[in-house]
Structure 1
């Protein structure tokens, strides 16, 4: 049964009977394995086969060549002779893998973007542009408005952009890039100052450690006014007896 299914074709006899021209050379496609956006793969395929879009049978056969792994297994589960056009093949293909479709963002998504407190202006610009690039047909006026709204009200760029609100998106980004350059210089200067302060801070810390050691040494020394203990020799007989015994000695 499995062998028969592998040998059978989902295409109708009319499609199967068509053979490609000897001059045809299949483009180099990115293969579809069943774990990515089907619409993206279809667009990729159509763009490379644009010169042959009128040759329906060729489109069907070449598209089948782009399937690998689980997607290839799915293709061979299609009923024999059930596909009579590339339109039908594209329909069942996108329906099968609809759960992998990328949710398209609309332009209003840009209004959700905000410059983060610790984010540099350049990083915000870069992140905003990347999000805009994922939105097909985004109106420049919406993008311009959303970009300004994402800035903190106290930011110098926010005030600058609101002084001349009729700027085009290109002008908004040009102004933003100028402010980003200033911001880059400010951050670089701050880092340079911090690096220059490091030796002074380390020297101060060493001085504090030495001062602490001196204090500890002074604490461990005997106090200057403390009574000094003196040691005396103790005798076993009274002193007058000792003198009596030695008074007649010649020395």
Structure 2
């Protein structure tokens, strides 16, 4: 039994506009599975879900983002300082704005998309040379060690690093796709608003969604009611309250 991260799920007032922004930012393509949902996926024959990329799903909601910083964000990879400068300039032309989240003097650039979702454009780093445009999905947390235990057991991704300050996971397929990073942020506990950005997990073909959800509860996940009603996915929270969804396996009605 195993689950894999397949989407970064973002809420937006205008899913088409924000989906378009992220498609331009990543150099990916747009699709739409239903009204109010815009999918952003790699082109070039990529078949979702796949280990080479965790895609972006933008879902329309009536509520605007609050001033509260998202606990989950995307880090974008760059290959050179010139590439970083060009990417930052291009993203600002698309509507991104610089934001101060207390980062201080750092070599990366912190921006927010046109609806205020924070993200980082990283300086060139050797570790991210083969990730594609998304270097990492980054989650603020209180206890990286606890997150490594839960997410390492919840998914089939390999835990690469665990310290008091961070935990790093990546697909078990060597050298493929982005990293999942949990960074210690003491203020990340005590959630005050629903998560604007979360991760979607999916069982592999032939696996049972209900059995996976039961397994996650045994690991410390709890059910989450956001008023979603009767939907084909299951909403949960990890032991620190980070929201996530378990989708049905591909091909399941």
Which bracket does the TM-score occupy, shorter chain normalised?
A: under 0.3
Structure of greater Rg: 1
Greater helix content: 1
* Larger RCO, structures 1/2 (Cα 8 Å, 6+ apart): 2
- TM-score (ref. length: structure 1): 0.20
- TM-score (ref. length: structure 2): 0.19
